[in-house]
Amino acid sequence: MGEILCVGASHFPGFGYTDDHMADILRRHLLSDRVPADAKDPKNWPPRMLEEFGADGENAEASAAIHRQRVMDGYRKLRKEIDDFKPDFVLFWGDDQYENFKEDLVPPFCLFLADEFKSTPWANGAGWMLSEGVNIFEDPKDREYTFQGEPNAARYLIRRLHEENFAIPYAYKQLHRESISHAFINSLLYFDYDQKGWDYPIVPFHVNAYGSSVLRNRGGDSLGKDISEPDPPAPSPQHCFDLGAAVARILADSPYRVALVASSSWSHAFLTEKNNFLWPDIEADHARYEELRDGKHASWRDLQLSDMEASGQQELLQWVVLAGAMTELGVKPEVIDFTDSYIFNSSKCTLVARPKGKRAAAAVS
């Protein structure tokens, strides 16, 4: 019988660059014609946003250092959980933002089967930054990372999912570029933030969280063109939740020890139109956090996609898949840290749910 560790994390690109660039998504939107002039005036911002950023951005770098420290400390705790668990492989649920899936194919899900996965995370720059930044690891632009895959386990999972009537697409190679998408490579970089090495085989599992925004806005950016009829939506929360439950059920009946990782931040400022694309829906994120903290994550199956989109919580769908897995396994999630922010685009959360009978970690304040 299999054994499963559940993990939640964030792949926010800003952590890959220095503190002086971490608020560049906000800075970029403050220059956008899509944002009304009065919304750009710091006098009209929430008090905490003004405190984090300052009237002229003078507080942003210091706020970035604090934000980074909290989230990366959470990542270090998660890495220890994974190391202690010693999985046969790690399955990552992540999204693709107009990277490998474009106009020729937009699948609702895709499981990748390969002996290895490569990435040059710094080669294409970072379009959300206002100027070219130095990555936090001081890697050269052409540094290539290689990660071992686990194609046999992926084939096992695909076959069993199809037997349970989940018709999941799969691929043996990337479509538009050789690198795996940023959701996967960023997560791997942050799990190895201290550059000790990563030896666990991976299975990337794409979730089309951006749905109707992925083509129109080329990944969800609010500066995209307007069209009269929206593209097809993302998979529903109910579908994502049920898929997560099926994955957990199948792997619990397998010979594998598996870490299941949902990687995403929650509400994204650049998706939250009601806040003029400047800050995320902090209130909605706190509601989801409280449900998670109180063990009510099964209620996420009943979330409405339209409400999630209005709150900029599209990427939370990856966590809804994880919620389905945790519910199926009957494991209790432990929130290591919940870190919200008005200026760093999104709220972040780190979580672990251990197999039943495993030791309880010390409480984290």
CA–CA dist 273, 12 (Å, integer): 20
Find the helix or strand (DSSP H, E) in which 161 lies. Answer: helix 151-163
CA–CA dist 32, 35 (Å, integer): 6
- Calculate mean pLDDT across residues 325-348: 97
Find the helix or strand (DSSP H, E) in which 7 lies. Answer: strand 3-9
Q: Is the pLDDT of residue 361 over 50?
A: no
Q: What phi and psi values does residue 182 have, to the nearest 5 degrees?
A: -60, -30
Q: Is the pLDDT of residue 364 over 50?
A: no
Residue whose structure tokens are 């099964």: 298
pLDDT for 218 equals 67
**Per-residue confidence band for 99, with pLDDT thresholds at 50, 70 and 90:** confident
pLDDT for 358 equals 59
CA–CA dist 338, 91 (Å, integer): 22
- Calculate mean pLDDT across residues 97-122: 91
CB 347 within 8 A of CB 338: yes
Regarding the domain delimited by 3-353, which CATH topology (the fold level of the hierarchy) does it fall under? Protocatechuate 4,5-dioxygenase; Chain B (3.40.830)
- Calculate mean pLDDT across residues 108-113: 96
Q: Is the pLDDT of residue 161 over 80?
A: yes
- Calculate mean pLDDT across residues 179-195: 95
Q: Which of 235, 102, 107 is nearest to 168 (CA)?
A: 107
Tell me the per-residue pLDDT of 231-273, one tens digit each, with 9 for 90 and over. Answer: 889 999 999 999 999 999 999 999 999 999 999 999 999 999 9
pLDDT for 229 equals 72
Sequential DSSP letters for 161-186:
HHHTT----EESS-SS-SSPPHHHHH
pTM: 0.94
Reduced to 3 states, what is the DSSP secondary structure of residue 147? strand
**Per-residue confidence band for 225, with pLDDT thresholds at 50, 70 and 90:** low
pLDDT for 179 equals 85
Tell me the per-residue pLDDT of 18-76, one tens digit each, with 9 for 90 and over. Answer: 999 999 999 999 999 999 999 999 999 999 999 999 999 999 999 999 999 999 999 99
Domain ranges of the chain: 3-353
